[in-house]
Copies of this chain bind each other. A is one copy, B any other.
Amino acid sequence: MLKGKVLIAQGGGPTAVINQSLVGAVLEARNFAGVEHVYGARHGVSGIINEDFLDLSRETLENLEAVADTPCSALGSTRDKPDVKYCKDIFKVLQAHDIGTFFYIGGNDSSDTLRILSEEAVKAKYALRCIHIPKTIDNDLTVNDHTPGFPSAARFVASAFAGINQDNAALKGVYVGVVMGRHAGFLTAAAAGAKLYSDDGPHLIYLPESTFDMTAFVKDVKRIYDKLGRCVIAVSEGIHDAKGTPIITKLAKDVERDAHGNIQLSGTGALADLLCDQIKEKTGITRVRGDTFGYLQRSFLGCVSDVDRIEAREVGRKAALFANYSDRAHGTVTIHRVGDYAVEYKLSQLKDVAGKTKVMHKSFINREANGVTAKFMDYLAPLLGSNMPVASRLDMSNGVPKILTKK
């Protein structure tokens, strides 16, 4: 039964719809007569340690709905990864505030935080119910068909590449777009989401699921360029060599790591520049441009998949419902595709998701490891949501006969 004081927090990287989950959980929890307060911890678990709480019971529906439509964690986020000492400090605060339920919205790092916390709660005989609410643009949570946040980021990446394909067709040359994705290539693969004609870009897609070979890469680019006079390429930031060493570390002076031991891949244009230099140097093509999509793909205001918006709200609501009706003390809300297109939500075990990473299935990647399959496109299509804009072209069959130049 959901009662007393409920705490909610947001961890890890922001998404376009993470506040839908926050608002879904808050509003649903507030519906239960036994719930006294819904607190929000600012900046994830670090806000618990600092007793930095907002009383979300005092928020108006109007403002919560406005926040729901705003990208990025409204409560603030954190990259802190609690150890045993950290968890004991968390208990002290939860006990002092008499909090019995904790909802944590986050990805696989955040779900692992919750797993440690729930285990320490058992050891400390503290009656705490921990429910993980999924989110990550990486789409790399196990058990889930996909993860809230990914569809909107995918829509952004697909829309960006659809525009860039037009740009590249207008002014020719080679374009390299670097997309977020450390181990899982789903978001980079979404670059193909708005392809319409067979010669539309991205013409090549490189994912962290495969080994990146610079020689094969340059050869691929030259082949497409020779055929079409242009080439659009989508590359995951996490591409690596046969030994698993990220390509970006081959040139980064200082490798920066976060509290989870992850190397910083975003927030620098180094990988795009490296790949562009390689193409220029080895093919002789002069107009080669690179962009790193960076933070825009996870936080852009106004690019949301309606499917994502609805599902992100639902996983929040479901967390409150599972907390009230399920026999299971802890768990993670998971999304399961049950139709084309329909989903169901379950309360799964934390250990099945926590700290694990799902990558793209082999059947989603082409044999040459430089593109995606029709099966992936089928998987992706409904997630992008309604009213995806379509890039159209003039009718190229209306050519005017040449008068001076006869070929």
Contacts and interface: CB of A to CB of B under 8 A. Distances in A.
Given A14-B166, A170-B72, A269 B266 contact: no
A225 to B, nearest CB: 16
**Residue with the greatest number of chain B CB neighbours at <10 A, chosen from A69, A71, A286, A293:** A71
Nearest to A299: B163
Interface residues of A: mostly helix, strand, loop or mixed? loop
A292 B268 CA distance: 9
A273 interface: yes
A390 interface: yes
Nearest to A51: B402
Interface in A156-192: 159-160, 162-164, 166-167, 169-171, 175
Interface stretch (A89-97, A213-221, A313-321): A89-97
A3 interface: no
B76 A169 contact: yes
A88 B112 CA distance: 70
A59 B398 contact: yes
Count identical subunits in the complex. 2
Contacts of A354: none
Contacts of A239: none
A67 interface: yes
Interface stretch (A125-133, A202-210, A300-308): A300-308
Contacts of A77: 170-171
A151 interface: no
A159 B302 contact: yes
B289 A295 contact: yes
B302 A290 contact: no
A147 interface: no
Contact of A300 (B75, B163, B286, B301): B163
Interface residues of A, number: 88
Given A77-B171, A170-B77, A391-B301, A58 B398 contact: yes
A261 to B, nearest CB: 16
A54 B395 contact: yes
Given A75-B394, A276-B267, A404-B51, A167 B295 contact: yes
A404 B70 contact: no
A392 B276 contact: no
Interface in A374-399: 388-396, 398-399
Contact of A273 (B13, B50, B53, B268): B268
Contact of A51 (B72, B166, B268, B405): B405
Nearest to A75: B394
B394 A59 contact: yes
Contacts of A390: 66, 70
Nearest to A23: B394
Contacts of A97: 400, 403
A39 B400 CA distance: 8
Contact of A303 (B51, B290, B302): B302
Chain A to chain B: the 8 pairs with minimum beta-carbon distance, closest first: A269-B269, A267-B289, A291-B294, A72-B166, A163-B299, A66-B392, A53-B400, A167-B299
